[in-house]
Structure 1
Amino acid sequence: MKKTIFLKTFRTGTLILISAVALITVFTFASLKRWHKNDLQNHLQRLGLSLQPTVIEKLAKEPGVLDAWAKQMGKSINARISVILPGGSVLADSKAMPDNMDNHLDRPEISEAMAGDASSRQRFSRTIMADTLYIALPLQLESEIAGVLRISMTMESIRNLRHELEVRVTAILLSLFPLSLLLTYIHSRRISRPIQSLAQAARIVAEGDFTPRVYVSDGGELGELATSFNRMVGRQSDMINEMAQQRKQLETIFAAMREALAVITHDGTVLMSNLSFNKLVDDESPTGKKYWEVLRSSEFYQTIQSLIAAPRNHSREMESADRNYLVNFTLLPGTGDFVVTFLDITERRRLETMKRDFVGNVSHELKTPLTSIKGFLEVLEAEVRGSEGLRYLEIIRRNADRMIHIIQDLLLLSRMEDKSFSLNTREVSLSQLVRDTARMFETAVHRKGLKLTLDLCDKMSPINGDSSRLEDMLVNLLDNAVKYTESGGITVRLKAEASHVVLEVSDTGIGIPADLQERVFERFFVADASRSKENGGTGLGLSIVKHIVMLHEGEISINSTPHHGTTFTVRLPLAPSS
């Protein structure tokens, strides 16, 4: 049977009460015994001291009358009087005949008194056959012990008195015990009732009902506990209501999202999803299922598995049911779970394809007439003799070259963006490729008074890549560095990491403002339009660089400070055998 707090408190209080009564009884009886004994001892001591001068006087003058005197005086004071000589023989005794008594020299109180000290002993008397308390006082005549005066009383007299007192004390304690038991019961109830109310309210709260409150009439710790409990339940109720409202708002937003969204746990279970995701996977209730059961895509499966093995944020494009999606994988910190969103970019890709086809077609159409124009310009330059005419022809030639470069870059971008485009990959020594490409810029660097520094690692492992495209990447990075650097120098660093090669191209040029750095890889974007036109820039070089890096499954980043220079960092994966 489950014991309540009341029973525990009442039982404990009762045990304490019984223990207290028992201890009080034992202590009281022991105290009464000690008190009566001490009182009797003091009484005998006073009697002995009052009789001592008389006994000494009679002992010195008329010892023969001491026995009669002792018997008479013993009756008057209700105590036994004995006079013992130094040899131990009894000279006088109020309760017995001295001639019939044993030698008392071996009695401890007598031997101590003979030594000159008052003595007290409680022992059984063989003479009167009773437990007796003795007081022995030395009788001193002219500096010598002439005998011992012993006063004694039986313990029976004080036992009767002590028994009477013990009976009274016991009666008082027994009469107080029921009252104390009642008070213990009331006190236990006062303690247990608020606790029971708190326990009952806590059970109701645990079941989800936050309405109960506990009120305690008296103050103290239980009152503070009840107040704190009520405050806590109130705050919890407010928090639950607020959370429920927020959850409802989130569910509304979640359901209204056009993008498909799902939360996938680290073990591959779909934890939650919105309506758009359910439509995407054609499953009304994918929650609780494994993601490969609801979305049968090898690309998605491989991506999730790689992210579970090495948790991180990731984005990639995927196709599903003839639709293109930009899929974002966002890692939830501390859980290993992922929030996956599917953004339908089919229309965007269709427009980009139309734009790319249009640019490709226009570029092809422009390439032939521009080649003819450049050919005829070369003929005209050979025939025209005037400086004014040559200057005009130079302007035409420069703009024709710029148009040809733009068309070539557009065609290259168009080819790389085509899904059918593939790299001609093989093992490439990037350090040798950097040296060969740097030689192309020696004249331009020398002409501007710059310094080109190569910091390369000769023992670096090769990478898998397309050497022609990687050369295009290096040409565009170095070309930008030379164009936008007027003093100082350009540094190309190449170093190896655990699984990547890191290429850095740094210059001490004009730099790029922080708010423009995110746009440098966009088509036709130039940070300084006037300088770009002056240098013949097309605004496509860095866009080509980024596409080449992405085709090689690498990463590119920029770090630039205006008027101090720019550093482009490219990370490319090493060949698998490395």
Structure 2
Amino acid sequence: MKSGGILDLKTSRNAKLVALVAPLVLLGYGVLVMAGLVPDFHFISAWWFLFLMTIWIGYAFYRILTPFSHSETTAVQLIIYHCFMLLYLTLVTGFDSPVVIAWILLLLITHFYYSINGFIVSAGVLLFATLLDTAFYHYPLLDFTLAVLNVNVTILVGVGAVAINSFRANEHAALQASRQRHDLERKRVLTIINNLADAVYSTDGDGIVQVYNAAGLALLDTNQDISGKHINDILKPTDGDGKAIDAFKLFKEAKSVVTNDTLRLHYGEDVMRLELTYAPIRSGYTTEEAKSTGDGYIVIARDITRLKSLEEERDEFISVVSHELRTPITVAEGTISNVQLMMQRTGVDQKKLIASIDEAHDQVMYLAKMINDLSTLSRAERGIASEVEKIDVAGLARSLHGEYGPQAVAAKLHFNLELDPHLGSVTTSRLYLQELLQNFLTNSIKYTREGSVTLRIQKHGGQIHFIVVDTGIGISKSDQTKIFDKFYRSEDYRTRETGGTGLGLYVSTKLAKKIGTKIELTSRLNHGSTFSFSLPATKK
């Protein structure tokens, strides 16, 4: 840190070590001067030399034991070390001595703390001290030349060292910035990946997992770290016949984006329908050695069990609907064709003609009923007209009694309405509730030959119970488990005698689910049936 800021611990320790080692080396050189092994006319006396070095080395040891604190302490320390070096050069060796080169340490440390301004001040002190010393001691020409040369070399070497250090510092700063950007981008990518609903895995060229998201762990039903594991060790798909598939082999064979939705993933007894979308990762910076395998592979895994089930159900539904529609259309078309032929003849029995037209009309009505049931089912599936409202239960019951009373009378049945007092209201979809009750009433009237149909509504606690009771043909135990399936019709001949699409009760289960209830059925063959469900009463 420049300008007197607090340095990091490592830099502080290195600076202290340099400040201690330098005087120890200079002590050795001074001993050589004191012993006369190195000629020097500046050496003042052994006592002054030893006194200076004792104070210098002692101060260096003291600084090792105390940490750097702030800019003023740093500046004071640098001034003290400059003073020690000036005294050493002035009283021991002179500026024509090669030890002047040790000043480079002061130049570098001063530059490190105070940038170029500190370097200029330190170099200026060296030049000024050299001029004063050469003037005071009247250096011979050779010694003066050596002194000037030493100072110039010291400053030039210092400039070069500072330039190299600055270049390396800039490179280091650029590298750090690049790493920070890379880390930031990596974190952003990981954040995006972790917010994806689909499982994502990224591997290297050897299939080792490098990156994955939370959905990836959920798909594998684990919470353990899978980084560093081979993709084949964690993802073990099979084909439709249960044969194991080498996932990594699939990835290596891919030249571009590939999607495979025919795979399975086994969890004990459970089987997941799996869709894998995978592709090789390639970049312009890939090495020649890695070009054959790329930079790795990106894999997106999706649980499509429900989607496949819906697709199969849809295909089955379309097939059944097509079959169910074909029969009445064929009968109606044939009957109308016969009517056309009969009308071209003379003397046609009018009763036969009317019977044929009635038969065609019945088939058209059957088609209309099926289309109506399909429309109701579509609305329930898509949530159309699902807006809830407060519904007066007694008012709804009387409305249904008035609507279906004439049908019951036409079928020579009694239509009873039994209502508890003070029923109150429910909050739900009026359309869904009304269609649910209508399905029960129409079935009861249709399959009851004699007796009665009763719409009973009771209130117990906070629940309102809707009950439709008939004295009809009843439902066998074997049929009770199937009548809520789509297009199911009992094999009972009495059921076959009446027209029905097999969709009414299937639609009813969908409507009941939409309004948050469940249909209850009790029935006994030849003794009638009871359909019921409950809804919470609306609080006043």
Same fold (TM over 0.5): no
TM-score normalized by structure 1? 0.37
The structure whose Rg is larger is: 1
